[in-house]
Amino acid sequence: MNFDQLFANFKNTQVLIVGDVMLDTYWWGNVDRISPEAPVPVVALNRKEYRVGGAANVALNTASLGANTAIISIIGEDADGDQLLQLMEQNGINTSNIIRSTDRITTNKMRIMGRNQQMMRLDAEMVNDITHELENQLLKAIENHIEHYKPAILIFEDYNKGVLTQNLIAAITKLCKQHQIFTAVDPKKKNFLAYKDVTLFKPNLKEVKEGLNINVDQTNLERMQHIHHVLKEILGHSISLITLSEKGVFFQQDEDSLIIPTHIRNIADVSGAGDTVIAVASLVYAATQNIRLAAEMANIAGGLVCEEVGTVAINQHQLLAECKALLATKN
């Protein structure tokens, strides 16, 4: 595998991400004492930092790898929405089809950090499904984008915040099939079994347990193959890519399956690792049609971002170097 050529090819790939975007706010400070008012630490704030989260973090990852990236979602007419749009545009993400609604608020996850550890998280969000009117606006925006840009990949990024309704999921999947667009999904519990006929289905093991309401006491290859077949019977998808936390990732396409173990890392924070995995796996598979290579590279990328505190995008040069070092003799 010529990894230099593969990474160079990413810039010719059009990617569209649809789903729940959010703003990640970090309040950094020092903890030196316990409050006299209650047995809680007092965090003396030093700085505020804003990052993109949810579907926007997936977009940040594909854009960081050089792909032409657009995102379609719904946010509020509020200051958090202004901040989120600014951050995405600064990172080269096409936000021209983002819809702003006075009926919604922009999701903001506020993390209070002391000594590089999360002390508390405050979530401002709405989780009810969007209205039929907003569904129609969103679908029209996706149709227009597909006509104009002809994306190779559409990634559903579902955080159960109400943007991806079951009606929309079915309509978007049908549209992608008509245009022969590769579809990938990072599901959550609410719509877990709604993603029928997608190409790549990427839950983590916890989501599989919740979505199928099953116990998974062992993660050996035989057990994971059984889970793939159960999912395939329900969804009719092509590829399962299941992340297994510290045990790595499992993939299966037809009869080709494997558990790929993690590479040893100094884990600082697992926030956003799933976003990186689906971004890298989707981009590599779209470029190569090789799910084994896509899973290997996504596994490396997921580990790399866990070495950083908070949600961060994969560093293109770092990932390229790691792939050359770890995979050059395997692919």
The answer to whether the CB of 300 falls within 8 A of the CB of 326 is: yes
Q: Is 275 a catalytic residue?
A: yes
Coil, strand or helix: which one is 161?
coil
Give CA 223 to chain center in angstroms. 25
CA distance 285 to 107: 30
The answer to whether the CB of 103 falls within 8 A of the CB of 163 is: no
The answer to whether the CB of 185 falls within 8 A of the CB of 156 is: yes
CA distance 203 to 283: 17
C-alpha closest to that of 74 among 110, 127, 26, 25: 127
Q: Which of 24, 129, 158, 275 is catalytic?
A: 275
The answer to whether the CB of 14 falls within 8 A of the CB of 152 is: yes
Q: What's at 188, amino acid-wise? A: K
CA distance 36 to 330: 59
- Max CA pair span of the chain: 63
Kindly list the catalytic residues. 275
